[in-house]
Amino acid sequence: MSTIKFNIDGKDVEVRNGRSVLEAALDSGIYIPHLCYHEDLSPIGACRLCIVEIEGMEGLVLSCSTPAAEGMVVKTGSESIDASRRLAMELLLAGHPPDCGTCVKYLNCELQSLKQYIIGDHIRVRTRSKLIPVNADNPIFLHEPNKCVLCGRCVRACHELRGVGVLFYKKQGRETYIGTENGLSLAESGCRFCGACAEVCPTGAIMDKEEFAKGKSRKAALVPCRYACPAEIDVPKYIRFIREKNYSAAAAVIREKVPFPGVLGYVCDHPCEDVCKRGEINHPISIRNLKRYAVEHDTEKIWKEKSRKKDATGRKAAVIGSGPAGLTAAYYLCKQGHEVTVFEALPQAGGMMRYGIPEYRMPRDILDGEIKIIEDTGVEIKTDSKVESIDNLFDDGYEAVLVAVGAHKGQKLRIPGARSEGVLTGLDFLRDVNLGNEVNIGKRVVVLGGGNVAFDCARVAKRAGAEEVHIACLECREDMPASCDEIDQGEQEGICLNPSKSFKRIINEEKIAKGVEFLDVESLTFDEDNLPQVEVVDDSEHILEADTIIFAIGQQPDIPEEFDLDKTDRNLIELDSYTFETSREGVYAAGDAVSGTASVIEAIASGRKAASIIDKFLDGDGRIDEKLAPEAELQKCLGPDPDFAAMDRVEEVCVLPEERLMSFCRVVDEMDEASADYESKRCLQCDLRLSITPVKFWGNY
């Protein structure tokens, strides 16, 4: 790269060619005030703060738009520079509200910083309030035109950087402000909600609405999906690859963080979708389905090319439990070069993924395939091997042990009749079905509980031959904890919902359950300790007859006393949340056994963390992150799209209820390519904004 030498304020500096005087100065650590200039945008010379004197040039010169040239002699301060800059600053502030303290941008505002640098507090010109109303009607962004100093950065960002071009200089009365054509909403005018405008705005005039930023790190605020994901899967990146129809690359992005991409495509509870910014416009991106689509169309498996296993370390680690947490940890520990054995009490590996989740929600071949990959990496899985004592493992030469036994013990309410024959816990029931055991549940089944497990039980019961299946729960219909999909699909399959019921007792005859007695719930609240406070309707007792009653009200880990681990009052393993260490040295824990029932993705994330910590314990570097996907070429120019905001979420297509009840086949059909393409195009690409060069304040020079 060619460079040029020039002199600025008596200092000889050398900078790369092709930079403006301003850029050259900033590059060499010399501050020149500037406002309308932004590294990523073309200079427009609007604010006049960047003026300098250059030998041989007449008058004051705009440093932002004058190319630095060999041998130039530049002066950044003089009486006339200061006078002119001062007036420019005063004029910029003439219509700007004076009370910085009340602004959200306080201390983060370039204008405020410039004001301090250039003039302090004294303003000679006439000040005014512009009285242009705040516009909070758009999703995501808040426009406060009174704070705008018309630097035009947002306009250039929208036009030049993004090629969208919906922001313009506008007039209202005598005031200029930044707005859309004909006062249309951002959505109507074709905004892509990329946030470039808010990113470059030096003042508080265009900002993300406070609810998105408050209490969050910058990254979590800007790219919520990725940072809401417990494993921090780079969501926008793989969606971008899907848009490019590069499914293998997309799958590789997911693989960088999780060894169960396929499983997640079916059963992830997608916290990313809950925070997806697209949801502010209409509906969140169907992230889970896109994931499934990418993984199932990953024909080239390019992730394998870059997937590395380190040389053997000769160190041994044992993992107890082959659920998502245990297998994830085992997989990454194995890739770090350790010898890993997984002990599983049940006949097959997979934990809850196999014994908790019904097959219609996740086909078993997917799970088997992903476990196979883990085994192929070198993890040894011993099934039908219940670990009785950790000491034995240490005796066998394992240096570290991860307890990832999950939460497999179903709970029953202590109500009369709960011990009757025909009263089951949900987990036992599901495990039996998934083990292929004969289940005898009769014609009428009542499931007690309103969460996803309750729905799993009810729907499995239906498939196992029950004719009439009820779900009863304390919560009212709207507050049922199960996901909407589950509830909808359950109802389609003919499950009867009985919300707002308190369970009084199980009716039995000769210890054989015959039904449940309910009371109607008048109100349900939670006290400070999050314990339910139920008020029932007097004299509302009624009975629902049943052959089988299934409690699906939660589960706990079942940690053998012989493990000799401290436990919490909720029967969970006591853990140092930072080191992941239990009360015994060399013994770590992860997954539901630590957190109580959580999601697959949380278990995976916890397995990853445990792997990294155990690796360090085994003298590794703890770095389990992988780069499996190619770098994505960021298409920073989005172009206008008047229909963008209106693009609606591609809804899942379900197999017809009559058909799906015939078997344990999957319920949700695959997306077709057109839908995947469409859905991926709906993404706002929130991460694009991170590629905009951040601005340094004068204090940093």
Partner 1 sequence: MNFDQIHVKAETESGYLSDNSSINVYISSRADDSTVREINENFQNNKNNLNFNIISAGSPGYFDLDPIVIIEKPGNPLILYSKFNPNKVSEIIKDYLLENNPRSDLALCTLGQEKIENIPCIDDLPFFNIQNRIILRNCGLVAPENINHYILRGGFRGLSEVLKTDQAGAVDRLEKSGLRGRGGAGYFTADKWKSLQEQEGNEKYIICNASDSDPFSFTARILLSGDPYSVLEGMLISAYSTGACKCIITVDSEFKPDTEILASAVDRMKEYGLFGNSIMDSGFNCEIEIIESAVSLPSGEETALLRKLENKQPMPFLRPPYPEKAGLNGKPVIVNNIETFANITAVFQFGPDKISGIGTERSKGTKIITLAENGSAKYIIEIPFGTSLKTVLENYKSIVKDSGNIKAVQFGGPTGAYFLPDADIAVDYDEINKISVIGSGTLEFIFDTECAVETAMNKMIYLHDQSCGKCVFCREGTFQMAAILEDIAKGTGKPQDIDLLKEIADQMKTGCICQLGRTAANPVLSTLQLFRNEYDIHLKEKKCPFNRQ
Binding residues for partner 1, rule: CB under 8 A, are: 43-48, 59-60, 62, 65, 83-84, 87-88, 91-92, 94-95, 124-126, 128, 149-150, 152, 155, 159, 165, 168-169, 171, 174, 176
d(CA 672, CA 122): 64
Query: Would you say the C-alpha torsion 621, 623, 626, 631 has a positive or negative sign?
Result: negative
Site for ligand FES in 38-57 (CB under 6 A): 43, 45-50
Site for ligand FES in 10-39 (CB under 6 A): 34-37
d(CA 224, CA 278): 10
Q: At what angle do helices 426-435 and 452-463 cross, to 10 degrees?
A: 40
CB of 213 to ligand SF4, least distance (A): 14
CB of 176 to partner 1, least distance (A): 3
d(CA 509, CA 40): 78
Query: Pick from 275, 294, 271: which is nearest to 283 by CA?
Result: 275
Partner from ligand FES, ligand SF4, partner 1, none contacting 684, C-beta within 5 to 8 A by type: ligand SF4
Partner from partner 1, ligand FES, ligand SF4, none contacting 661, C-beta within 5 to 8 A by type: none
How buried is residue 199: exposed, middle or buried, by Cβ count under 10 Å (0-12/13-18/19+)?
A: buried
Specify the residue, 48 or 278, whose C-beta has the smaller distance to partner 1: 48
CB of 681 to partner 1, least distance (A): 25
Specify the residue, 76 or 555, whose C-beta has the smaller distance to ligand FES: 76
Partner from ligand SF4, partner 1, ligand FES, none contacting 225, C-beta within 5 to 8 A by type: ligand SF4
How buried is residue 584: exposed, middle or buried, by Cβ count under 10 Å (0-12/13-18/19+)?
A: middle
β partners of residue 88: none
Sheet containing strand 423-425, strands side by side: 423-425, 548-551, 444-448, 468-472, 496-498
CB of 113 to ligand FES, least distance (A): 14
CB of 33 to partner 1, least distance (A): 13
CB of 695 to ligand FES, least distance (A): 12
Partner from ligand SF4, ligand FES, partner 1, none contacting 195, C-beta within 5 to 8 A by type: ligand SF4
Among 64, 68, 132, 150, binds ligand SF4 (CB under 6 A): 150
Q: Characterize the bridge pairing of strands 512-526 and 501-509.
A: antiparallel
Q: Which contacts of 563-567 are long-range, i.e. CB under 8 A and separated by 24 or more positions?
A: 563/389, 563/390, 563/403, 563/587, 564/390, 564/391, 565/403, 565/589
Half-sphere exposure of 369 (CA within 13 A, CB side): 11
Residue 19 amino acid letter? R
Nearest 5°: CA angle at 56, between 52 and 61?
A: 25
Q: With b meaning 16 or more CB within 10 Å and e meaning fewer, what string describes 371-389?
A: bebbbebbbebeeeeebee
Site for ligand FES in 319-348 (CB under 6 A): none
CB of 58 to partner 1, least distance (A): 9
Residues 6+ apart with CB under 8 A from 184: none
Specify the residue, 25 or 268, whose C-beta has the smaller distance to ligand FES: 25
CB of 115 to partner 1, least distance (A): 14
Specify the residue, 149 or 346, whose C-beta has the smaller distance to ligand FES: 149
Among 278, 291, 459, 463, binds ligand SF4 (CB under 6 A): 278
Residue 223 amino acid letter? V
By CB under 6 A, how many residues form the interface with ligand SF4? 43
Residue 80 amino acid letter? S
CB of 122 to partner 1, least distance (A): 13
Site for ligand SF4 in 158-217 (CB under 6 A): 158, 162, 164, 166-167, 178, 186, 191-197, 200-203, 205-206
Site string (283-312) toward ligand SF4, x via CB under 6 A: --x-x-------------------------
Whether the CB-CB separation of 315 and 341 falls below 8 Å is answered with no
Specify the residue, 44 or 73, whose C-beta has the smaller distance to partner 1: 44
Q: Among 84-92, 145-153, 258-266, 648-656, which window interacts with ligand SF4 (CB under 6 A)?
A: 145-153
- Please report whether residue 482 would count as binding ligand SF4 according to CB under 6 A: no
Partner from ligand FES, partner 1, ligand SF4, none contacting 92, C-beta within 5 to 8 A by type: partner 1
Specify the residue, 123 or 221, whose C-beta has the smaller distance to ligand SF4: 221
How buried is residue 600: exposed, middle or buried, by Cβ count under 10 Å (0-12/13-18/19+)?
A: buried
Pair of tokens at residue 238 = 């793989």
Query: Would you say the C-alpha torsion 596, 600, 606, 611 has a positive or negative sign?
Result: positive
Half-sphere exposure of 224 (CA within 13 A, CB side): 24
Site string (631-670) toward ligand SF4, x via CB under 6 A: ----------------------------------------
Give the residues lining the site for ligand SF4 (CB under 6 A).
148-154, 157-158, 162, 164, 166-167, 178, 186, 191-197, 200-203, 205-206, 223-225, 235-236, 239, 276-278, 285, 287, 683-686
Give the residues lining the site for ligand FES (CB under 6 A).
34-37, 43, 45-50, 62, 64
